[in-house]
Chain A
Amino acid sequence: MVDSKKDKRQKREEYRAALHQDDTTELPRKKFYRQRAHANPFSDHQLIYPPSPDQMDWSLMYPAYVVEDDKPADSEDTAMAAPGAETEAQSSDELVSSTEPKRLSKEVEVADIGCGFGGLLIALAPVMPDTLILGLEIRVSVTQYVVDRIKALRAQNELAPESNPNSYNNIACLRANTMKFLPNFFRKFQLSRIFICFPDPHFKARKHKQRIVSPTLNSEYAYALRPGGIVYTITDVPDLHHWMVQHFDAHRSFERVSDEDQNADPCVAIMRTETEEGKKVERHSGQKYVACFRRLEDPPFEEAEAEAEAEKKVEE
Chain B
Amino acid sequence: MAVPYHVLKVCGEVVFAARGSTIYSFNSSLECISAWKCDVKPKAVTGGWGAEPSPAAEGPPAKRRRVAADQAPAVEEGQAAPESETPEKGNRRKKGSNFVQKSKPSDRPFVQGLYNTSDGCHLVAITGSDKTIWVFEHDGAGHLTQLSQRMMPKRPCSLAITSDNKTILSADKFGDVFALPLIFSEDPSDLKDVTNSPSSAAATPNTNSRSSTPTTTSKKPFQPQANEFTIHTKRNLKALENQKLSLTLKNTGKLADANFEHTLLLGHVSMLTAVLVAARGPRQYIITADRDEHIRVSRGSMSQAHIIEGFCLGHDDFVSTMSIPAGRPEILVSGGGDDDLFVWDWAAGKLLSRTNILERVQKLVPETSRIAVRHLFTCRPQEAADGPTWVFAICERVPALFCYELKEGSLHHVQTIPTPGNPLDIDYLKPVASVSAPRILLAVDPDISGDGTGRGGPSLLVLSWEPASASGGWHLASGGSQGPSGDEEKKGEQEGEDEISNQELQRILYTTETLRKTIMDDE
Task: Give me the interface of A with B, judged by CB distance under 8 Å.
Answer: 35, 37, 39-46, 51-53, 140-141, 179-181, 183-184, 188, 201-210, 214-220, 222-223, 236-240, 243, 246-247, 250-253, 280-281, 284, 286-287, 298-299, 301-304, 306, 309
Contact = CB atoms under 8 A, between A and B. Distances in A.
A44 B518 contact: yes
Contact of A44 (B84, B202, B229): B84
7 contacts: A45-B520, A181-B292, A183-B294, A209-B198, A210-B80, A223-B308, A251-B203
B230 interface: yes
B307 A222 contact: yes
B410 to A, nearest CB: 16
Contact of A203 (B174, B224, B299, B307): B224
B78 A206 contact: yes
B240 A219 contact: no
Given A180-B270, A183-B311, 16 more contacts: A43-B80, A45-B520, A45-B522, A46-B519, A184-B313, A201-B236, A203-B226, A203-B239, A203-B242, A205-B255, A216-B267, A219-B306, A219-B307, A220-B308, A236-B232, A237-B225
B75 interface: yes
Nearest to A280: B232
B246 A205 contact: yes
Interface stretch (B39-47, B126-134, B277-285, B460-468): B277-285
B240 A209 contact: no
B482 interface: no
B365 interface: no
Given A223-B308, A240-B225, A301 B315 contact: no
B226 A253 contact: no
B236 A237 contact: yes
A284 B232 CA distance: 7
Contacts of B310: 188
Contacts, number: 177
Contacts of B301: 302, 304
A239 B264 contact: no
A215 B306 contact: yes
A40 B243 contact: no
Interface string B243-287: 100100010000100000000101111100000000101111000
Interface string B497-508: 000000000000
Nearest to B518: A44
B189 to A, nearest CB: 28
B304 A302 contact: yes
A57 to B, nearest CB: 16
Nearest to B79: A206
B236 A250 contact: no
A303 B202 contact: no
Contacts of B284: 303-304
Contacts of B235: 37
Contacts of A236: 230, 232
A42 B80 contact: yes
Interface of B: 75, 78-84, 163-164, 174-176, 198-203, 222, 224-226, 229-230, 232-233, 235-236, 239-240, 242-243, 246, 250, 255, 264, 266-270, 279, 281-284, 292-294, 296, 298-299, 301, 303-304, 306-308, 310-311, 313-316, 517-523
Contacts of A298: 307
A291 to B, nearest CB: 15
A2 to B, nearest CB: 16
Contacts of B224: 203
A247 B200 CA distance: 8
A286 B230 contact: yes
A166 to B, nearest CB: 30
Contacts of B79: 206
Closest 9 A-B residue pairs measured CB to CB? A216-B267, A239-B225, A52-B313, A215-B202, A250-B203, A303-B282, A203-B243, A223-B308, A302-B301
Contacts of A223: 308
A129 to B, nearest CB: 32
Contacts of A45: 519-520, 522
Contacts of B246: 203-206
Contacts of B78: 206
Contacts of A219: 202, 266, 298, 306-308
A41 to B, nearest CB: 6
B34 to A, nearest CB: 27
B273 to A, nearest CB: 14
A209 B174 contact: yes
A306 B280 CA distance: 12
A20 to B, nearest CB: 17
Contacts of B270: 180
A1 B152 CA distance: 47
Nearest to B235: A37
B202 A216 contact: yes
A140 B75 contact: no
Contacts of A247: 198-199, 202
Nearest to A141: B523
